[in-house]
Structure 1
Amino acid sequence: MKQTNITRKDFIRNSALSIAGLTLTPLLMNTQASNPKLKEKDLSTGHYVLKNVRLETGFEYEEGEVSATKTKLFAVEIENGKIKKISANKPNNNKAIDAKGMLMLPSFKDMHIHLDKTLYGDRWQAVAKRKGGIKGMIALEQQILPDLLENSTYKAEKMIELLQSKGTAFARSQVNIEPTSKLQSLKNLQAALANKQNSFGAELVAFPQHGVFYTDSAAYMKEAAQTDIDFIGGVDPYTIDGAIEKTMDFTIQLALDHNKGIDIHLHETGESGLKTAEYLIDKVNENPVLKGKTYLSHCFVLGKLDAAKQEEMAVKLAEAQIGIISTIPFGRLVMPIPTLFKHGVKVMTGNDSIVDHWNTFGTGSVLHKTNLAAQLYGQVTEFNLSRMLKLATAGPMPLDDKGNRQWPKEGDEASLVLVDASCSAEVIARMSPIQSLIYKGNVVY
C-alpha cells in the first residue's frame, strides 16, 4: 500500500468524523468558520481563550444521595500547553473561541493497545480460524510480520487518528520485540509517533510476544531496554516459556537494570496464572523501586477466583502498588473491577487489538469500554456513573468523591476534550459525541 502523510491541517479540514453513523463536525473548527476574527494561526500560537466552557462544580443531593451534577460556564485560558487561568465566563469576548456550552473533561487514555501491528488502514480482513493455540499464533506472526512491517508506520498513524476521533490523546502501546522483527517494529512505531508528536502522546512497552526464551528474544529485549522505551513487558511465562521464575526474574532484573516499569500480559486463568501474579507481587515488595510502575495486563485469573480470594489478591496488589489493565471482557469471565477499586488498586483500560490477526473487532473508544463496564457492574446512579470516568481518563476526574472540583486546575496540562453532554455521568451512559480534542494546548480537531 502506498503510504501517504496526512498533515495536521488536512486532518483538521477533513475530520468531519463518522462515529456510529453520526457525522460530527469539529466544534472548534466551526467556531473558527463562524468568527472571522479567529484564524488558524490563533490556534497554532498556543495561547488562546475558550469561553462558554462547561465545568462540573459539585453534586446535588436528595435524601443524602447524589441526584445530579452541578455545572457552570467558565472562561479557560491556555498557554504553552498548560491551563493558565480559569475565570468567570465572558460570553461577549469576541477574541475567545466559543465552546458553546460543551462539557470539558480530561482527554482519554488508551492504556493497552498494539499500535505496531494492525490491519487498520489497510484492506479489510477478518480473523482467520486459529490453529495450535498461542504457539500456533506465534508461528502465524513469524510468517506475516515481514509483510505487516512494510507499512506499519502508516497504519499506526491511521490507528492514532482513529483513537483521536474518539477523544484519546495518549496511549500505552505494546511493541513486538522478537527475532522475526527484531527492533524494526519499535523503530516504525517511533516514526509514527514522531509524526504525531504535537497531537498525541505515548509510552511504549517492549513486548516479547513470542516468549523470552521460546524464540530466544532475550538479546533483543536487552537491546530494546537500552532505548527510550518505558516498560519491560512479558506474556504468560509458564504457557510460552515453560517456567515462571526464569522468565519473571529476567523481566524484573531487566527493568531494575534500566530503570523501567513492568507490564506483563497474563492470560492464564489456572494455577500458573495465580502463581505468576503472586510471584510478581513478592518481587515488587522485595524491590520497592518498582512500586507504582508495575502492571498486570488482563490478569484474567482474578476473574476465576472465589470472592474471598479476590479480596485477598486486591489487598496484596494495592499494598504492592501493582495496577491492573483490563480489557473489560464480557461472557463467562467477569473481572472483579469493583473489588479492585474498593481496595485502591489502580485499574485502567484499553482497546488491546483492533482489526488485526488477533481480533476482528475494535471501536478505538475507551469511552465505549467504560460504558460497557458501567453496564456490567450495574453502575447506574449519577454518582457511580461519574466515578467510572477514571477508566477512560486513566485517573483524572472533574470532581472528587465529595463533589469538590479537582480538575481542571491552573497549571494542569491542557489535554482535554469538549463533549456534547451535561455531566460526566451522561457522557458515560450515552457515550456522548466528542466535539473537540486538545493535546497539550494543540487543537487536534
Structure 2
Amino acid sequence: MTSLLIKNVRIMDDEPADILIRDGVIAEIAPGLDAPGVAEEDATGLIALPGLVDAHTHLDKSLLGWPWYKNDVGGASLMAMIENERDMKQRLGLDPHVQSMRHALKTAGFGATLIRSHIDIDTQGGLRALEGVMQTAEILADVVEIETVAFPQSGLTTREGTAELMDQALAMGANLVGGLDPCGVDRDPKGHLDIIFGLAERHGKGIDIHLHERGDLGLFSMEMILDRAEALDMKGMVTISHAFCLGMQDYPRVEAMLERLAAMDVAIMTTAPASSPAPMVKQLDAHGIRIGAGNDGIQDTWGPYGNGDMLERAKFVGLRNNLREDVEVKRALDICAGGGAVAMGKPRRALKAGAPGDLVLVEGEAVVQAVVTHAPRKLVVKGGHITARDGQTLMAAP
C-alpha cells in the first residue's frame, strides 16, 4: 500500500475534485488538495469509479495464452463437461500458476482490485491448482486481492479421497469451502452438505456453493443448505453462487425462500446468464440480500466467451434485469464493484474517505455511459498503488 494524490477527477458524476490516498486508504476528497511529498497523477477530468470486483471466477481454468480451443462438448451434460475439462487440463499440461497469472492480470487491467476464485480440488489434480493460484495471489498482492475457494467440482461422495483433499486445502490456506449441486453431481445431498458444512465448522471458514440446480430441485437443495446454516449458526457465512432456482416463476415459493436467505444473511453471486434462469436484482434488493457478480470461467473448455471485464459484466447485469434508469444501471455497477465486495464480506469499495484506496479511471461523459460502452480504462489504482494504464497492467503476464 502507498500514498497517491489524484488531481482533477470526476467522482462518479460529480464535479471535478482531488482524491488523496494515504497508506492505502482514501484520506480525503475535495477540490484543490495539496500533499507535499506524495506522488501526483493528473486525471484530466476522467471519471473515477470504485475498484471493480469479480466475486465469482475460476482462475485455474482459463486457456488464455494457448492456441484457440475447439469446443465440441458445449451442449453435453454437466458431468461430461466436468470430465472433459479434467482430461484436457491434464492432456495439455496446464500450469495453474501461469494460467491464473494470465487471467488475474487481464481482469486487473480492466479495473478489478478484488477477485474470488473457485479452484478445483479433485483426486486427479490433487492440490496442484490451489498451490498455483496461491502463488499467484502472493505475487499479485499489490495488484489485485485474490480470495480462494476450495472447489470439489468432480464430486465429493462419489470420488473417494476428495474430502480429505478438501481438508488439506483448507489447512493450506484456502479461504472458503466450496461445493456443487448436491443432488445433481453427487446425487447425495445429505452426504455432500454434511461434508462441506463439517469442513467449514472444523476450519472456522465460510462456504460458497455452486447451485445450478433449477426449479423444485434447486429449492430443495437450497432448503437443505439453509437448514444446516441455521443449525450451525452460520449467519453471514454462506454464499450461494448462480442460484438458478431463484429465477423460477413460482413467485410465492421464491419469495418465501428469499425471506429465509435474508434472515441468514446469505449472499448470492450471479453471472447474469443469458441462457439460464437467474435471481433477479430487484427481488433480492427488496429483501436486503447481498449480491455480487462475476465473470465465471473465461475462454476455457466450458465455452469461448468472457474477457475478464467486470464493467462489461455490469452491463450484462443491467440487461438481464431490465435495468434502464440511470440509478438502476448504477446499481448494476455497484454489484460489480462495492456491492460485490460487501457480498464477499469485504470492506465496500467506494469513493469516500475511509474506504480502500482502490479505483479505476475511465473515459466518458457519465457513469452510465461508461457502463453501457464498457469505456476504456485509463488508470487502475489498488491501495494507492498504480497497477495499470490504458487497460494494461504494469506487471506483464507470463
TM-score normalized by the length of structure 1: 0.80
Match of 1:267 in 2: 212
Give the percent of matched residue pairs that are identical in Structure 1 and Structure 2. Answer: 27
Q: Report the residue type matching 1:313 in the other structure.
A: M
Report if aligned partners of 1:74, 1:87 keep a CA contact under 8 Å in 2.
Answer: yes
Q: Following TM superposition, by how much is the alpha carbon of 1:172 offset from its aligned partner in structure 2, in angstroms?
A: 0.4
Q: Which moved more, 1:229-238 or 1:122-131?
A: 122-131
Q: Is the 8 A contact 1:128 1:357 kept in 2?
A: no
Which structure has the larger Rg over C-alpha atoms?
1
Matched, 1:320 2:264: yes
Aligned to 1:245: 190
- Deviation for aligned residue 1:79: 2.3
Q: Within 5 A, what are the aligned runs for 1:3-402?
A: 46-56=2-12, 71-89=14-32, 96-130=40-74, 133-216=77-160, 217-288=162-233, 290-331=234-275, 333-395=277-339
Report the CA distance between 1:191 and its aligned residue: 1.5
What is the root-mean-square deviation in Å for CA atoms of aligned residues?
A: 2.4
Deviations 1:120-151 (A, max 9, x none): 12111132225862332333234223245542
Q: Summarize deviations over 1:88-140 as a string: whole Å, max 9, x none.
A: 2259x997321111111111010111101221121111322258623323332
C-alpha distance in 2, partners of 1:419/1:77? Answer: 18
Secondary structure of 2:21 counterpart:
strand
Query: Which segment drifts farther, 109-118 or 362-371?
Result: 362-371
Q: Structure 1 stretches of 5 or more lacking a match? A: 1-44, 57-68, 398-405
Tell me if structure 2 keeps the 8 A contact 1:149–1:185.
no
Distance of 1:275 and 1:356 partners within structure 2: 30
State the secondary structure of the residue aligned to 1:172. strand
Residues 209/437 of structure 1: CA separation in 2 closer, same or farther (3 Å cut): same
Alpha-carbon shift at residue 55 of structure 1 (Å): 1.4
**Residues 138, 409 of structure 1: CA spacing in aligned structure 2 closer, same or farther, 3 A cutoff?**
closer
Q: In structure 2, give the amino acid aligned to 1:53.
A: V
1 CA distance for matches of 2:97 and 2:307? 20
Counterpart Cα distance in 2 of 1:332 and 1:262: 23
Q: Residue 411 of structure 1: CA displacement?
A: 2.8
Contact kept? 2:244, 2:276, Cα under 8 Å: no
Decide whether the 8 Å contact of 1:322 with 1:346 is kept in 2: yes
Q: CA deviation at 1:428?
A: 2.3
Partner of 2:78, secondary structure, is helix
Deviations 1:275-309 (A, max 9, x none): 11011112212222x22121111111111241222
Aligned to 1:10: none
Runs of at least 4 residues of structure 1 off by over 6 A? none
Structure 2 alignment gaps of length 5 or more: 342-348, 389-398
Q: Distance in 1 between matches of 2:164 and 2:142?
A: 33
Give the total of aligned pairs: 379
Q: TM-score, normalised by structure 2?
A: 0.89
Paired residue type of 2:177: I
